[in-house]
């Protein structure tokens, strides 16, 4: 875990020390991710000013695995340290029992405005709604429109086209700093998201299917992983095996990659006033795994939840309802590129005009794939870790694809037996 709890506590104390005067009882703290903190903090401050409350946001980094570790440590200890938590789409199973049921606070009319599959994912088997969606997200293909135009290439629709286009442009540009395709290859949750897209796009399933059957050891999954391994050292620099979302965005923003797989929410970074690639970037669905394949985009929506151990649950719920409502989501989409989780905002004329990405995003959503977190529940973090560790070993050349998937299948069976999903 990158952030140790004592260090975090000190940080919070320091932050609280900066607030003037004694803390009123209703001061609430909320976690926000490094990349979205400023926007969510600004919104929280609007609410606090209006309601006479005070909020103490703290950044929790951006690596999903670290954040889950931190939450587990705090929540398993029933600590009241967090009021409002930023929750990844894959965590309802792992964290649900520590989170307040929001159903008594949200009326049906409001619930009906959100995308139903996201709400379903946030509802546990007892019908408790443990979070409300803050923003939607999926993996998407970013490409350099100017480079494609310079050499007369179309946007690739299959992985084979992406490989051929990247190779041809690299050959012609002769720029040692330019990479063909960057993505998230470090052994962490981000690699699970990338590898799921490769495999699902080849028709190789979702590791574990909706009925709980382990499906990973199949010919299409093998084909997808063979393909990805061949990218290393050709269209993708070996460093991608240690890179995360932020590394990819830095490379691509600096003009050092032709194609990038990343989340929709990062688009705003590329369009900042000082971005070297501003106005030169296009968006498209991630490629299909061949004529028989399909587009596939891993779902990565983020939600807000209230800790059951919060000392200010009413205020925390009120802030949650504010941050996830239509005006806030509209602001987060307009000021950055956090895709809304409310259906109506996709027909908002100003958003359509100013945020052209929303049309592509909606198209991509049609091909979205969920990680198997709902069916595996509490065991999901273990399933994902086994998966990304194995995939990382394959990509780095330490393991051959077929035996690796056979071993992975057996290891997942063991987890399944122990956790009885
Ligand atoms: C993004 C997604 C999240 C995913 C993570 C992986 O934060 O929103 O769902 O788990 O990336 O790195």
Domain annotation for the chain: domains and CATH numbers: 27-137+300-362 (3.40.190.10), 139-298+373-419 (3.40.190.10)
Beta bridge partners of 135: 302
Average pLDDT, the chain: 91
**pLDDT at residue 286 above 90?**
yes
First to last CA, the chain: 27
CA–centroid distance, residue 201 to ligand 1 (Å): 19
Residue 1 has pLDDT above 80, yes or no: no
| Block residue for tokens 């139903």 | 116
Picking from 3-17, 19-33, 384-398, which range would have the lowest pLDDT averaged per residue? 3-17
Q: What is the pLDDT of residue 16?
A: 35
The Cα–Cα gap between 293 and 40 comes to 38
Mean pLDDT along residues 305-312? 95
Q: Is the pTM of this model over 0.85?
A: yes
From 193, 244, 267, give the residue whose CB has the most ligand 1 atoms within 8 Å, as the site to mutate: 193
Say whether pLDDT at 19 is over 60: no
pLDDT at 250: 97
Query: Which of 20-24, 303-307, 319-323, 372-376 is least confident?
Result: 20-24
Q: Is the CB of 64 under 6 A from ligand 1?
A: yes
Partners of 179 in the β-ladder: 257
Average pLDDT of the segment spanning 174-182: 98
* Ligand 1 close to Cβ of residue 205 (< 6 A): no
Instruction: Report the nearest atom of ligand 1 relative to the CA of 302.
Output: 8
Ligand 1 within 6 A of CB of 89: yes
Whether the per-residue pLDDT at 69 is higher than 60: the answer is yes
- The label of the residue with tokens 């490409």 reads 143
- The beta strands (E) that lie in 159-246 are given as 179-182
* 6, pLDDT greater than 50: no
- Given CA atoms 391, 393, 394, 400 in this order, what sign does their dihedral have? negative
Q: Is the CB of 190 under 6 A from ligand 1?
A: yes
SS3 84: strand
Contacts from 144-153 at CB under 8 Å and sequence distance 24+? Answer: 144/255, 144/257, 144/258, 144/259, 144/277, 144/280, 144/281, 144/282, 145/280, 145/281, 145/282, 146/280, 147/173, 147/258, 148/282
**pLDDT of 274 over the 90 cut:** yes
> Phi and psi (nearest 5°) for 377?
55, -125
Q: What is the rounded radius of gyration, in angstroms, for the C-alpha atoms of the chain?
A: 22
Closest C-alpha residue for ligand 1 atom 4:
300
| Cβ–ligand 1 contact at 302 (below 6 Å) | yes
Confidence at 4, pLDDT banded by 50, 70, 90: very low
């Amino acid at each position: 875990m990158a952030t140790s709890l004592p260090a975090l506590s000190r940080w919070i104390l320091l932050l609280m020390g900066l607030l003037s005067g004694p803390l009123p009882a209703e001061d609430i703290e909320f976690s926000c991710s490094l990349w979205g903190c400023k926007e969510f903090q600004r919104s929280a401050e609007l609410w606090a000013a209006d309601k006479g409350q005070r909020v103490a946001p703290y950044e929790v980094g951006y690596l999903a695995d670290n954040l889950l570790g931190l939450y587990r440590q705090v929540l398993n200890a029933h600590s009241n340290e967090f009021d409002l938590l930023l929750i990844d789409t894959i965590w309802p199973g792992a964290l649900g029992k520590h989170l307040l049921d929001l159903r008594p606070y949200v009326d049906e009319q409001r619930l009906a405005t959100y995308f139903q599959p996201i709400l379903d994912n946030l509802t546990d088997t007892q019908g408790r709604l443990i979070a409300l969606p803050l923003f939607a997200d999926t993996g998407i293909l970013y490409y350099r429109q100017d480079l494609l135009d310079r050499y007369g290439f179309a946007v690739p629709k299959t992985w084979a086209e992406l490989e051929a286009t990247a190779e041809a442009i690299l050959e012609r540009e002769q720029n040692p700093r330019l990479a063909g395709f960057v993505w998230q290859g470090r052994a962490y949750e981000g690699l699970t998201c990338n590898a799921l897209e490769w495999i699902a796009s080849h028709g190789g399933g979702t590791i574990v299917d909706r009925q709980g059957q382990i499906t990973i050891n199949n010919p299409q999954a093998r084909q997808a992983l063979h393909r990805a391994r061949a990218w290393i050292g050709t269209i993708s620099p070996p460093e991608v095996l240690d890179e995360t979302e932020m590394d990819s965005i830095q490379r691509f923003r600096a003009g050092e990659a032709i194609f990038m797989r990343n989340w929709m929410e990062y688009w705003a970074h590329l369009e900042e006033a000082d971005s070297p690639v501003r106005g030169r970037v296009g968006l498209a669905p991630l490629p299909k795994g061949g004529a028989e394949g399909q587009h596939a985009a891993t779902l990565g929506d983020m939600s807000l939840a209230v800790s059951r151990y919060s000392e200010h649950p009413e205020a925390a719920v009120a802030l949650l309802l504010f941050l996830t409502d239509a005006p806030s989501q509209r602001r987060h989409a307009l000021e950055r590129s956090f895709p809304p989780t409310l259906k109506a905002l996709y027909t908002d004329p100003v958003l359509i005009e100013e945020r052209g990405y929303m049309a592509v995003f909606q198209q991509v959503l049609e091909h979205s794939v969920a990680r198997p977190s709902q069916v595996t529940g509490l065991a999901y973090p273990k399933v994902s870790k086994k998966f990304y560790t194995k995939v990382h070993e394959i990509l780095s050349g330490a393991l051959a694809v077929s035996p690796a998937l056979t071993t992975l299948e057996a290891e997942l069976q063991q987890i399944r037996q122990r956790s009885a999903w």
